[in-house]
Amino acid sequence: MSIIKVENLNKTYEYYKKQPGLLASIKGLFKREKLFTEAVKNINFNIAEGELVGFLGPNGAGKTTTLKMLSGILHPTSGEAKVLGYKPWKRQAEYQKQFALVMGQKNQLWWDLPAMESFILNKEIYEVSDEDFKQNLDELVELLNIKDILNIQVRKLSLGQRMKCELVAALLHKPKVLFLDEPTIGLDVVAQKSIRDFLKKYNKEKKTTIILTSHYMEDIKELCERVIIIDYGKIMYDGKLSDLVNKYANYKELKITFLNDGVTREQIEKYGEIKDFNKYRVRIRIKRKEAKNVAAQILTSDLPVDDILIDEIDIDDIIRKIFGNNKKLD
């Protein structure tokens, strides 16, 4: 069952060109050149109940604009979208009580008050009963391990602690759909992992439908089986992350360590494309289907091999390659 349906959705921003200087400003009062920017161009996708989908793209690709339309903050220029059967930009109260939007660079908590005060405010806004509020809060606090910071002013919390509290505030009313825009931005690796572990467990247990944007590919690899890639407002790819890797990274890397006096470049270059070399450590790129055979050849050769590792190409490299091509992927 599709929870989110997007059909031919477009968003165009209008703005005016202004020349520098006082005279140009005066002229602009009477005549201005109107310009247009297409932030989202005729996109289509469906997301089923309980899916956790990665929404990827470089800065300015249209990710945040799309989430803002799906959450009702922006009205589209044209096209249709339905979330839980509602048109988001109509901003019906029934819909607003069933979704949440968390933006890593925007705070919903009151800066000078303890997080608990914001939780109580959200309880009233979303009309959560006392019993449900206590049950939901206790569950989320335990999952995120933030019991000791609930009554500390938000401005005194670390970035990771604040993001955990932002998630609690967003999930207190048990939304069926959660939009996450860069939730781990700026966090250290420990805090990022904590947030990822929580989202993975919460999605599995609650079957909440989640769209996640992130520039940290560890978030995507850990959480998302499916990804939607958008660039210049157009969807370039929509499918399984594993299929993307298999199709567009048709090679693997061998990382080899050598003993004794090491090896020469000439001894190694016949096995594959050398990406990194010193006489004791070598990294070579091999076609995916040949990786095991080449590794076996190296192990049975006269080379003083100490260790060999067959490694996948980093997904960061794949995504960068896709953005660089700027071509729609099959």
Output the CATH code of domain 250-312.
3.30.70
| Architecture of the domain whose range is 2-245 | 3-Layer(aba) Sandwich (3.40)
Residue 276's beta-bridge partner residues?
Answer: 283
Go through 128-138 and write b for each residue having 16 or more CB atoms within 10 A of its CB, e for each that does not.
beeeebeebbe
pLDDT at residue 190, rounded to an integer: 86
> 5: Cβ–Cβ under 8 A, 6 or more apart, which residues?
46, 80, 81, 82, 83
Q: pTM for this one?
A: 0.80
Q: Which two tokens stand for residue 11?
A: 């968003």
Q: What is the mean pLDDT of each run of 10 residues along the chain (330 residues)?
A: 93 85 79 86 95 90 93 94 95 93 84 93 93 94 92 92 93 94 85 91 93 86 91 91 79 89 90 91 89 91 91 72 62
Token reading at 326: 């700027």
**DSSP labels, 52-74:** EEEEE--TTSSHHHHHHHHTTSS
User: What is d(CA 44, CA 236) in angstroms, rounded to the nearest whole number?
Assistant: 11
Q: Determine how many CB atoms are found less than 10 A away from the CB of residue 246.
A: 12
**CB distance 125 to 102 below 8 Å:** no
Return the pLDDT at 325. Answer: 62
Question: Residue 281: what pLDDT?
Answer: 93
CATH 3.40.50.300 placement within the chain: 2-245
What local confidence, expressed as pLDDT, does residue 164 receive?
93
Q: Determine the pLDDT at residue 74.
A: 94
Residues of the chain with CATH 3.30.70: 250-312
